[in-house]
Amino acid sequence: MDKILVHGGRPLSGSVRISGSKNSALPILAASLLTRDRCVIHCVPDLSDIHYMLQILSHLGAHVERASGTVIIQAEKISTVAPYEIVRKMRASVCVLGPLLGRHREAKVSLPGGCVIGDRPIDLHLRGFRALNAACRVEAGDVKVFADELRGSTVDLEGKQGPTVLGTDNVMMAATLAEGVTVIEGAAAEPEVVDLAHFLIKMGAKIEGAGTRRITIEGVKELHGAEHSVIPDRIEAGTFLVAAALAGTEVTLRRVNSDHLKAVLNSLTDAGFRMDVQRDQITVHGNGSPRPLELITEPYPGFPTDMQAQMCALLSRANGVSRATETVFPQRFMHVSELKRMGADIELDGATAIIRGPSQLSGAPVMASDLRASAALVLAGLVANGLTEVNRVYHIDRGYESIDEKLAGLGAHIERVKDRSH
């Protein structure tokens, strides 16, 4: 097992290229199951989650080729069963349910694993499938969905913590091949949902309203192959924005979509950082000394839950008291105890982290508990005194392509080593 060592105190400067979006690529790869034709997907990031998804597609019978960011998939004949040993490593594997149901009117997929950030049930996905006239059962750890015919209808996918992104993806994919019109109310409006819709439209689907809370899908008889480039990863971009604010002098992010980053950019501006924002690149002038903030995570276009941990690291250096309130995943504060080990002054009050600064952070051995928490610990290590040792970095490899190499390219003293204790 690898660990990442960060030697604090090196300023960041230069430019970094942002990879394709993990949360777009995963459902787009799954959507290739909707057609027998060849699909070509560009800007696919090299991540362990992507690797697992391609394994799932291959197991289902798809022919998969991959070369330097481009994946070619042809799913001419496919199985409809994805067992536990294939899907256990990744929560997003559930997004093969929609395409399998749409194309073959049945699917059996084992309930997946993934991050430990609270309960993330798939009941909203099943609500959507039932609205399309599918029967759904969960038994012995497997989700079984089947239908004699899929019929469009109206379904509300708003959950207790807001809309479901993967649920919206799943129902949208199944509905492309259903009879009649499906209306998803309370749909997720994230850019990743819009990206999937654009790919499905290229395949011949009839979809309107993606990016709003109401998506309309008119079913078609069949879909065909398509070619598509995945959008830039807004969470990777946000993470590098925070890294630049925290530890940078002048850092430029290339291949970004600044429209997708408005909430993060607004927060960094409120915290006192100067940024030059263009449509596809952003330059941050770091000063490492933010003003305190009141942050509340919300579904898009609000402040993303996937950036909350990184902002906690940044706000530990702010002069004053900040608050970060989590409304999407209220239990998502596993990083707090590890940041406290490094000297951050953070206390939890329910779903709010109260952060008092500025704290002088010190390097320490820390444990990554989930994907974004691990990124926050690496960022904290950039400005900590001494050596920070981040263990369990398999979490970070799920969602960040070569984060250690990219930070090293900006001047960080960072290295990846094998953990000999395992």
Ordered by start, the domain boundaries in the chain are 2-18+232-418, 22-229
pLDDT in tens, 249-294: 999 999 999 999 999 999 999 999 999 999 999 999 998 789 999 9
Give the active site residues: 115
Q: Do the domains 22-229 and 2-18+232-418 match in fold? A: yes
Report the top-level CATH class of 22-229: alpha beta
Secondary structure of residue 132 in the 3-state scheme:
coil
Of 351, 353, 398, the residue nearest 372 (C-alpha): 398
CATH of domain 2-18+232-418: 3.65.10.10
Query: pLDDT-derived band of residue 418, with 50, 70 and 90 as boundaries?
Result: confident
Using CB atoms within 10 Å of the CB of residue 230, give its burial: 0 to 12 exposed, 13 to 18 middle, 19+ buried.
buried
Query: pLDDT-derived band of residue 118, with 50, 70 and 90 as boundaries?
Result: very low
Query: pLDDT-derived band of residue 114, with 50, 70 and 90 as boundaries?
Result: very low
Q: Which range is least confidently modeled, 7-21, 50-64, 78-92?
A: 78-92
Tokens matching residue 121: 């049930």
Torsion angle of C-alpha atoms 350, 351, 357, 359, degrees rounded to 10: 90
Q: Which residues contact 203 (CB under 8 A, 6 or more apart)?
A: 31, 34, 35, 39, 176, 223, 224, 225, 226
Is residue 25 within 8 A of residue 73, CB to CB? The reply is: no
Check residue 113 and give its pLDDT: 55
Check residue 115 and give its pLDDT: 42
Is residue 314 within 8 A of residue 271, CB to CB? The reply is: yes
Which letter does DSSP use for residue 95 in this model?
G
Residue 200 has pLDDT above 50, yes or no: yes
Q: pTM for the whole thing?
A: 0.95
Q: What is the mean pLDDT of the chain?
A: 94
pLDDT in tens, 328-379: 888 889 999 999 999 999 999 999 999 999 999 999 999 988 889 999 999 9
